[in-house]
Amino acid sequence: MALPAQKQDATDARLASMTLPESGVWAKTAREDALSRVTAMGLPSARDEYWKYTNPASLVAREAPEAALHENDAVPLYDGIDRLKVVFVDGVFDAEASDDLTLEGVEIERLAEVSQMDIHWAKDLYGVLETRGQKPVERPMAALNTAYATDGLVIRATGQVAKPIALIYRHESTTSDAILHHVIRVEEGADVTVLENGPAAARFNKVMEVDVADKGAFHHVRAQGRDHERRANTHLYGRLGTESVFKSFTLTANGRLTRNEVVLELLGDDAQAHVAGAALGDGDFHHDDTVFITHDAVNCESRQVFKKVLRNGAVGVFQGKILVQPDAQKTDGYQISQSLLLDDDSQFLAKPELEIYADDVACSHGSTSGAIDEDALFYLRSRGVPEGPATDLLVLSFLAEAIDEIEDEAIADDILSRLEAWLARRRG
Amino acid sequence: MLEIKNLHVKLEEEDKQILKGVDLTLEAGKVHAIMGPNGSGKSTLSYVLSGRDGYEVTDGSATLEGEDILDLEPEERAAAGLFLAFQYPVEIPGVGNMTFLRTAVNAQRKARGEEELSAGDFLKIVREKAKSLKINADMLKRPVNVGFSGGEKKRNEIMQMAMLEPKMCILDETDSGLDVDAMKLVSDGVNALRGEGRSFLVITHYQRLLDHIKPDVVHIMADGRIVKSGGPELALEVENNGYADILEEVA
């Protein structure tokens, strides 16, 4: 079927400015397939139902809109945590700044190198989960990524990985347009933690595909911020085997436009998937969490906990879906999306969805928008805590359920202090 | 210590006068009780003194050690030494009791130009005070008042009072929802804080609490005014005969 003219034009314009990277046999095939998916679907437009609340124009545009640089934090996030650092500057691997990629329990390679080989195991994963995730909802920005990404990591965890792998995304050029694609295979019984931090680029398109085998565990904590003008569209895919665990938490502070999509398939019995996010926006801020979790096995649990704190006209979007297939009995699905609106100018748009075809399941969902609880505020102030810090405490209280989803205490503490610092700065 | 003169207060939202000329003088080191039927304005008085939104003072004044407090923010009143033990302490999920206490203590110290307590010193003092109120380590770790029983919440209020060491304490129906043992525990906590210079205003429906916290003066409040004041025997009179006789007598 022909695409609408406007969509066709926008897609042609973007693709005309790009060339498929030189690749070895397997990657060349993956890229060409991805490109044909993009041309068939067309890039998203504001008229698409799935993009109703977030205008994709600046993500699709031929050129990345400029984004001013932001001073980096004096003490980087995760600084106190023993980790393997992998640095990308404007989407390009920086060997100088990175640690040696050797680590016990895991093989870490670069997509830039792996994609030049004719045969590599990555072919079974690169673009594979992205392709599966094109149904029932199209995600053309992810297919665009598969076609054009030149850098990223190819990770295979084979055991208990000795320490977290920390991906650090530096933004040093005001016009950088970065596309990164990571694939992560967690083998049976293996356990790996991946951390992400940094604004990455003026415009950032990132895909992470994670395949967790039986009894494997994947832990993911990321922080996006604090560049005010950054735009980002990320996709996190997960495929879960029997008794596997997938846990992801995202902290987002600032950023003009962020859309984080999470697409998970629970394919093995007794698997567990938790995704959580805390977003803080002040002013020119648009943050969209779009989550799609498919239960296709027995006795699996999924949790979605998303909280947004919005002020001065900031906009928060949540589109979250739980799809329970006919055979996915004993599914335990939970979804909560909440916003704390600190003034009358901010907006929260929520579209929670449940689609259930099995008859023995427990699924619950809730969505709320509210202001600061005046009783609680007065209680704190009556104990001598001034209004500013008291409000901050209540913001932290509001976000606590999401932050509690971070299992590692040291990492949770680090995220919490980042949050506290952000709040204190806002207070001036 | 606390001097209330001709205090008139109405609700901001609706044009309803709640306090219609309250006069009260509370000397340093004394315990005064306010009793009165429902809707007489007792709780409103406690909220107006501590600075809750939603009330408008239309006339009169309230001073703490000679300083007008009605124009101060709630936190400034707290730093000046005023404390309200809530009838319904608020639950704050996600904020640890200990964090809350330390934030409050240090905010007040900062406001008064004093040095903030170190984590070590703070912990030492908390442990000491918690012990006497039978507040265990678990209660200190849990989020503020979340999942606390009625008695635990009230003990937690007294715990805060003990940590903040205010000069002027207002107890708003602290006895509500307490069983006999909890009431004794809370009263012991309050009595331990009684001393030179610290004053208490105890708001209650029942004489029972006043068996434990012995007042110097008892006031009867009705329809937004203090209609009668006397010694502890006044509370007994209320307990035996109800408010009707007294109200009739002053009418």
Instruction: Tell me the pLDDT tens digit for each residue of A95-118.
Output: 999 999 999 999 999 999 999 999
ipTM field: 0.95
Contacts of A399 in chain B (CB under 8 A): 94
pLDDT value of position B18: 93
A253–chain B nearest CA distance, Å: 20
Give the residue among A206, A245, A201 at the shortest CA–CA distance from A227.
A201
**What percent of chain B lies above the pLDDT cut of 70?**
100
Q: Is the pLDDT of residue A285 over 90?
A: yes
Q: Is B117 in the A-facing interface, judged by CB distances under 8 Å?
A: no
DSSP annotation of B16: -
Q: What average pLDDT score do residues A172-182 get?
A: 95
Rounded mean pLDDT, B90-114: 92
Range of A220-229, A323-332, B7-16, B121-130 with top mean pLDDT: A323-332
Give contacts of B95 with chain A, Cβ < 8 Å.
Answer: 393-394, 396-397, 400
pLDDT of residue A428: 64
Residues of chain B with C-beta less than 8 angstroms from the C-beta of A381: 51, 73-75, 78
B74 close contact with A: CB closer than 8 A? yes
pLDDT in tens, B28-74: 999 999 999 888 999 999 999 999 999 999 999 999 999 999 999 99
Q: Do A393 and B95 touch (CB under 8 A)?
A: yes
Residues of B in contact with A373 (CB under 8 A): 90
Res. A53 pLDDT band, cuts 50 70 90 = very high
Mean pLDDT in chain A? 95
**Closest CB to A381 among B75, B83, B143:** B75
The residue in chain A having the minimum alpha-carbon distance to the alpha carbon of residue B80 is: A384
The closest of A285, A244, A210 to A54, measured between CA atoms, is A285
pLDDT of B236 above 90: no
The pLDDT value recorded for residue B176 is: 84
Q: Is pLDDT above 70 for B226? A: yes
pLDDT at B158 over 70: yes
The answer, for A394 touching chain B at a CB cutoff of 8 Å, is yes
pTM of the model: 0.91
What average pLDDT is seen over chain B?
90
Check pLDDT > 80 for residue B232.
Answer: yes
Chain B CB within 8 Å of residue A375 CB = yes
Give per-residue pLDDT as tens, B162-189. Answer: 999 999 999 998 888 888 888 888 898 8
Of the residues B103, B108, B109, B160, the best mutation for testing chain A's interface (the one with the most A CB atoms within 10 Å of its CB) is B103
The pLDDT of residue A1 is: 66
- Model confidence at B95: pLDDT above 70: yes
CA distances from A139 to A45, A129, A237 (A): 12, 12, 12
pLDDT tier for residue A372 given thresholds of 50, 70 and 90? very high
Residue A392's closest chain B neighbor by CA? B95
Q: Is there a contact between A385 and B73 if contact means CB atoms under 8 Å apart?
A: no
Q: Smallest CA–CA separation between A400 and chain B, in Å?
A: 5
Q: How confident is the model at residue A331 (pLDDT cuts 50, 70, 90)?
A: very high
Q: Does B165 touch chain A (CB under 8 A)?
A: no
Q: Per-residue pLDDT averaged across A134-149, rounded? A: 97
CB contact under 8 A, B89 and A386: no
Share of chain A above pLDDT 70, in %: 99
* Residues in chain A closer than 8 A to B104 (CB atoms): 380, 383-385
pLDDT score for B180: 86
pLDDT of the residue at B131: 86
Which residues from A are below 8 Å from B108, CB to CB? 384
A154-185: b or e for each residue (b if 16 or more CB lie within 10 Å)?
bbbbbeebeebbbbbbbbebeebbbbbbbbbb
A136 prior amide bond cis, ω within 30: yes
How many angstroms separate the CA of residue B78 from the nearest CA in chain A?
Answer: 5
Confidence (pLDDT) at A101: 96
Annotated domain spans of chain A? 5-372
Look at B104 and A390 and tell me if their CB atoms are within 8 Å: no
Establish if A384 touches chain B: CB-CB under 8 angstroms: yes
Tell me if chain A has a CB within 8 Å of the CB of B84.
Answer: yes
Reduce the secondary structure of chain A to three states and give it as a string. Answer: CCCCHHHHHHHHHHHHCCCCCCCCHHHHHHHHHHHHHHHHHCCCCCCCHHHCCCCCHHHHCCCCCCCCCCCCCCCCCCCCCCCEEEEEECCEECCCCCCCCCECCEEEEEHHHHCCCCCCHHHHCCCHHHHHCCCCCCCHHHHHHHHHCCECEEEEECCECCCCEEEEEECCCCCCEEEEEEEEEECCCCEEEEEEECCCCCEEEEEEEEEECCCCEEEEEEEECCCCCCEEEEEEEEEECCCCEEEEEEEEECCCEEEEEEEEEECCCCCEEEEEEEEEEECCCEEEEEEEEEECCCCCEEEEEEEEEEECCCEEEEEEEEEECCCCCCCEEEEEEEEEECCCCCEEEEEEEEEECCCCCEEEEEEEEECCCHHHHHHHHHCCCCHHHHHHHHHHHHHHHHHCCCCCHHHHHHHHHHHHHHHHHHHC
pLDDT grade for B109, boundaries at 50, 70 and 90? very high
Q: Does A399 touch chain B (CB under 8 A)?
A: yes
Is the pLDDT score of A227 beyond 90? no
Residues of B in contact with A382 (CB under 8 A): 50-52, 74-75, 77-78, 83-84, 86
What's residue A196's pLDDT?
A: 97
- Model confidence pLDDT, tens digit, residues A299-308: 999 999 999 9
For the residues B4-17, what does the mean pLDDT come to? 91
